[in-house]
Amino acid sequence: MNPGETTEQWLERLRQSQADADKASAELSEAMRLHRLNRLAAQLADEYGQAPCPRADLLEWLSDQVERLKVAGVPDSTTATAMIDAAYLEWINGGQGLLP
């Protein structure tokens, strides 16, 4: 506590500090998620060619694919990568490319 600060003021300052830390952590997590999706998008484009859509749409598509894989309980990153690669190839070749 700072000199002259009441317990209530100190608790409020502590709550605000925690809220600020939580917000910063969420922003960092989102930045890291977007960085990973951008890297994946670049790898797919390098390997198989550009997606038939704007980058924002591709990132949204990739985010959806990753969520579908999580829900499906895909056990490892090797399997997940192969599934995303296959869906991407189908998509850029005119198919829907969505994982079940």
Q: State the total domains in the chain.
A: 1
State the pTM of this model: 0.71
Within 1-100, where are the H helices?
A: 7-48, 55-72, 77-92
| Any domain includes 41 | yes
| Any domain includes 100 | no
| Any domain includes 99 | no
Residue with tokens 């490892």: 76
Domain extent, residue 45, equals 7-92
| Any domain includes 97 | no
Handedness of CA 99, 64, 36, 53 (dihedral sign): positive
Could you tell me if 45 and 77 are in contact, meaning their C-beta atoms sit under 8 angstroms apart?
A: no
pLDDT of 97? 54
> Could you report the per-residue pLDDT of 52-100, keeping only the tens digit for each?
889 999 999 999 999 999 999 998 889 999 999 999 998 888 865 554 4
| Any domain includes 1 | no
| Any domain includes 98 | no
| Any domain includes 50 | yes
